[in-house]
Amino acid sequence: MSAGLIAKPAIARRSKALGGTVRIRGDKSISHRALMLGGLAAGRTRIAGLLEGEDVINTARAMRALGATVREEGGTWIVDGLGNGALLEPEAPLDFGNAGTGCRLTMGLVGAYDFTTTFVGDASLSKRPMGRVLDPLRQMGVQVASAEGGRLPVTLRGPKTANPVNYRVPMASAQVKSAVLLAGLNAPGITTVIEPVITRDHTERMLQAFGANLAVETGNEGERIIRLEGQGRLTGQDIDVPGDPSSAAFPLVAALLVPGSDITILNVLMNPIRTGLIVTLLEMGAQIDVLNARTAGGEDVADLRVRYSELKGITVPEDRAPSMIDEYPVLAVAAAFAEGRTIMSGLEELRVKESDRLSAVAAGLKLTGVDCEEAPAALVVHGRPGGKGLGNAAAAVATHLDHRIAMSFLVMGLASEHPVTVDDATMIATSFPGFLELMAGLGAAIE
Ligand SMILES: O=C(O)C1=C[C@@H](OP(=O)(O)O)[C@@H](O)[C@H](O)C1
Ligand SMILES: C=C(OP(=O)(O)O)C(=O)O
């Protein structure tokens, strides 16, 4: 059964010191891309460490529906691809469940094909804006039908020959950038994407690894200019997916907040466009040791030793937002335990995630006794060191089908004076299957 169909509440209580060593499952962004490029490339792709969360499994299903062979064998995922330009028309709508990344990137992947594809998703995904991907696809000549406001269900039909575009991404979004590049794979000539604000670069790195002719340069105003030659050959690769830093964030913040804790998290992706949370927590006084820094599969990776820390509030630089965009909910929880005030700004994109995360976080903080102020694109949190008075034994935090809201507030309950309940923990399986077991193994009291 999919996450979210029957809500299951969960409760977290003040816990004794957390301890132990854990390995976090594969990065979600890299996992989606590995399945997509594997399905598109000629020959075989072997993926070790794929995140087997529901979001990624929906991408695996979509790639099968588009003609690729995708199977799991002894923990490795094996994808036999069709060759660039050779995807097949799916027989039924592609259902991406809760996953913005899977849905938007696949829109790019198939948008320029001269066949019809329909995209559907769950109640959360059906509220999220797709126009940001549909606009550049229209410029490429794709016919688009959507529900009002560019929402799902969306049906795309590509032209006989797509126009390669020169597209300046209007918001900080790796999903939009990636969708345009993936569509460019099936257009003749050079597709150019200009990113005024730099976002995660896994698509560019992986396209190069699969053999695409892709070049990146920095423009006069610091913008990133990415040029991709369409219709080139892509060849299957062996990919080792590093641990997801956006998932590591939860045990990491839990260890910082629960007195006496000392944990180690192995094999965490340390791509510099993904480490904003670690940089921020270090500035707040966190004891995080980066151990065994190395490269694996073309990405920086390290182990993290994390110890309980007395945090202090800071002003988080606005331009850091893209490097920690999914981590603000749990950062806000960390800020609730810090001495003084933490100011977070540049958060407009949080309003269009699985939930309106800015208002969901602010509502959760208020319910659990935290003083905070929500602005259109900012959040200010006034901390209470030691978590005195925080938590709520009577009411549950509303998670709005959002896995990160659920995990963030469960982390809060491990260190707050009173317990914290979330109304639904099932969505956690979209990005972090095994979260409850992993946290229990460290000593966290979550039921
Ligand atoms: O490209 C990706 O893999 C992702 C990009 C981000 O979304 P946006 O591109 O919408 O910022 C992020 O929030 C999401 O979890 C994963
Ligand atoms: C925003 C997220 O994912 P997506 O956009 O893929 O649904 C997330 O995982 O926090």
CB-based contact 164:188 (threshold 8 Å): yes
Binding residues for phosphoenolpyruvate: 28, 100, 128, 175, 357, 404
431 Cβ below 6 A of ligand 2: yes
Report d(CA 117, CA 188) in Å as an integer.
21
Average pLDDT of each block of 10 consecutive residues along the chain (447 residues)?
76 98 98 98 98 98 98 97 98 98 98 98 98 98 98 98 98 98 98 97 97 98 97 98 98 99 98 98 98 92 98 98 98 99 98 98 98 98 98 97 98 98 98 98 97
Nearest to 283 by CA among 275, 292, 293: 275
Residue extent(s) of CATH 3.65.10.10 domains in the chain: 10-26+242-446, 28-240
User: So what's the pLDDT on residue 1?
Assistant: 43
Strand 315-316 relative to strand 371-375, pairing: unpaired
Does the pTM surpass 0.90? The reply is yes
CB-based contact 268:248 (threshold 8 Å): yes
Residues ≥6 apart with Cβ < 8 Å to 347 = 321, 328, 358, 377, 378, 379
Tokens of 365: 């903080």
How far, in Å, is the centroid of ligand 2 from the Cα of 98? 8
Which atom, in ligand 2's list, is nearest to the CA of 99? 7
What letter does residue 441 receive in the DSSP assignment? Answer: H
326 is catalytic: yes
Tokens of 227: 């040029």
Report d(CA 305, CA 383) in Å as an integer.
24
Residue nearest to atom 11 of ligand 1 (CA): 173
- Element housing 131 (H / E): helix 131-139
How far, in Å, is the centroid of ligand 2 from the Cα of 404? 9
401 Cβ below 6 A of ligand 2: no
Nearest to 286 by CA among 277, 295, 294: 277
Report d(CA 143, CA 145) in Å as an integer.
7
User: So what's the pLDDT on residue 4?
Assistant: 58
Report d(CA 245, CA 177) in Å as an integer.
21
Q: Residue 218 carries which side chain, given as an amino acid letter?
A: T
Strand 190-195 relative to strand 166-168, pairing: parallel
Question: ipTM of the predicted structure?
Answer: 0.99
205 Cβ below 6 A of ligand 2: no
29 Cβ below 6 A of ligand 1: yes
Residues ≥6 apart with Cβ < 8 Å to 173 = 132, 199, 349
| Cis? peptide before 153, omega within 30° of 0 | yes
How far, in Å, is the centroid of ligand 1 from the Cα of 33? 12
Report d(CA 177, CA 73) in Å as an integer.
32
Residue nearest to atom 8 of ligand 2 (CA): 326
Question: Which CATH superfamily includes the segment(s) 10-26+242-446?
Answer: Enolpyruvate transferase domain (3.65.10.10)
User: So what's the pLDDT on residue 296?
Assistant: 83
3-class secondary structure for 337-374?
A: CCECEEEEECCHHHHHCCCCHHHHHHHHHHHCCCEEEE
CATH class belonging to 28-240: alpha beta
Residue owning tokens 């509440």 = 9
Which 3 state secondary structure label does DSSP give 31? helix
